[in-house]
Structure 1
């Protein structure tokens, strides 16, 4: 399996986990010049931009650690463009969640940044 296939597999696992928690998946792998958002969801009244990170082991650091300041800024920029291009009002409540998958363990951090 190549990296894209591996990523898609774990993004699907994250999507299933989120749906069980009441999230509604709107879009997967949204890409624009500003960056990429793995999953765009609705959760209650929130529009949620979700980053999914997978690590097979903690040797190189945990998956949540990989969502550093630079990655966060690219996700924010992509989210702003997503809202603009989909005519979503600026006052729409939004948040950024991260799903970290380490081996078989899935962890959701709501409002991560």
Structure 2
């Protein structure tokens, strides 16, 4: 089980970096990968113009269990929202314009689907 978890983490890291490269090509400035706090984790924190962006990256080998974008459940949205609040508080960024984006990657990762402003802040 430990080996499987390690492989999943390596796969996740690989595709998070791939999404980060894609975001940079879209004009984003990556501030941080894998921000962790007691509420959970955010895959990518970036700046896109005036916006502080919290981006969730989801990878699926295929769509048998649904698309990557469908995997960002309400519970996951709440977790990301809480983490974003911690990030903002820790860095004194109150009043910053923020949004939540989702990057979905399927297959070999050649095609990345980016949803800007994918969901609102969730309490």
TM range, normalised to the smaller chain? Answer: over 0.9
Q: Which residue does 1:36 correspond to in 2? A: 41
Q: Distance in 1 between matches of 2:12 and 2:69?
A: 15
Q: Distance in 2 between matches of 1:21 and 1:64?
A: 19
Residues 1:51 and 2:70 are matched in the alignment: no
What's the RMSD between the two structures over aligned residues? 0.9
Q: Distance in 1 between matches of 2:89 and 2:22?
A: 28
In structure 1, stretches of 5+ residues that fail to align are none
Give runs of aligned pairs for residues 1-113 of structure 1, distance below 5 A.
Answer: 2-89=7-94, 91-103=95-107, 104=109, 105-113=111-119
In structure 2, stretches of 5+ residues that fail to align are 1-5
Q: CA deviation at 1:49?
A: 0.1
Query: What do the CA deviations read for 1:43-63 (whole angstroms, capped 9, x no partner)?
Result: 000000000000000001000
Length, aligned pairs only: 112
